[in-house]
Amino acid sequence: MKLGGQIVTFVIAWAVLLLLLGINVLLAYQPIGGLHGFVPIGIAATQAFIIMAIFMKLRGRPSLKWVFAGAGFFWLMILLGLSSTDYMTRAAWPL
């Protein structure tokens, strides 16, 4: 197997993923207050983005794969977003 440009990309992606994992674990022990729920999710989203773009080969020309990869997450956002309108405001109303 030739050591082509693609393989280098894969290995760099892998290294970045591990790095992000390390950051995630380290930050878990830092007093970052109210952010402690959001930071891991943000890091996970970045990792997921890298995996999908590089390992699942989404990068490159726009294609139909983008649509359906995006659709899953878009619909997930509908579910999470609209159900959380209830949980965020249930106690607040009736006033």
In order of 7, 52, 78, 81, 94, the CA distances from 3 in angstroms are 6, 22, 43, 45, 65
Note the residues at the interface with other proteins (CB under 8 A): 1-2, 6-7, 10-11, 13-14, 17-18, 21, 24-25, 27-33, 36-37, 39-41, 43-44, 47-48, 51-52, 54-56, 64-65, 68-69, 71-73, 75-76, 78-80, 82-90, 92-95
Rounded to a whole number of angstroms, the minimum distance from the CB of residue 19 to other proteins is 10
**Dist. CA 29–CA 66, nearest whole Å:** 36
Rounded to a whole number of angstroms, the minimum distance from the CB of residue 1 to other proteins is 5
Percentages (nearest 5) of helix, strand, coil residues in the chain: 75, 0, 25
Rounded to a whole number of angstroms, the minimum distance from the CB of residue 62 to other proteins is 14
Nearer to other proteins, 62 or 94 (CB): 94
- Of 73, 21, 9, the C-alpha closest to 47 is 21
